[in-house]
Amino acid sequence: LAESLMTEFMDSGLKPLIPSFIDLMNMYSSLSLHDKLESTFIQCLEKCRPNRTIYNIYLNSLVKGDNPHKAEEIFNQMHGNGAIGVNTRSCNIILSGYLSCREYVKAEKIYDLMCKKKFDIESPLMEKLDYVLSSSRKVVKKPLSLKLTKAQREILVGMFLGGLKIESDEERRNHAIRFEFNENFGMHSVLKRHIHDQFHEWLISFSKTSDRSDGIPCQFNTISHSYFGFYADQ
């Protein structure tokens, strides 16, 4: 019934299709119908532009369906595509796959990527990861205090020249940056995702996206922090 309704919906030309594809793929995932999920993903590629949520569902299916090589290929596609990208969920999925098939060198690379992006590692994976890293004489890194990277500083300088807004408290001790993008410009959509990913750890909680919606708002703020004082004084 769900398949026939989806076919009718696609034939009708009604939009948007993405939420329906997400629901259908989630249903197949819960039933472990990995072949049907893959065919639905291919349909989605033909009919519209899949978002990160769609890719994450497919990636998870490939890992659960014991197809590590295809999972690696899809993850690399996501990571290399600025319009999609990877998030905490994507990295935990592929990390789980690498640990399950004992691809420890690749698992370490994903761990390093997650540390760089300050993504949280899911608790069930930590014990396995501890063993892998201890065998290579590494230790699981503890969360670091917030500090702007060189890339983040360079981005801020460029965006302030373009009119980026900063809000200060009454005593001008702490400052928050407000990112704004125009949803009517296609390039802004790509830039918005890139900036959101780059400053993920700095954003206030409701500015962060969920894996379900994958929707990045056109406006989002950083936390208020004294680290932005240099930019507020310019």
pLDDT digits (tens, 9 = 90+) for 76-87: 999 999 889 999
Residue 212 has pLDDT above 50, yes or no: no
Which residues, in sequence order, are CB contacts of 58 under 8 Å at separation 6+? 25, 37, 38, 41, 74
What are the pLDDT digits (tens) for 98-144? 999 999 889 989 988 888 887 888 888 988 887 777 766 555 554 44
8 Å CB contact between 185 and 203: no
Residue 16 is predicted with a pLDDT of 58
* pTM listed for this prediction: 0.64
7 has pLDDT over 80? no
Distances (CA, A) of 85 to 52, 118, 214: 7, 15, 11
The confidence score (pLDDT) of residue 163 equals: 81
**Does residue 31 have a pLDDT over 90?**
yes
At residue 165, the pLDDT reads 85
Q: Give the range among 110-114, 168-172, 195-199, 202-206 with minimum mean pLDDT.
A: 202-206
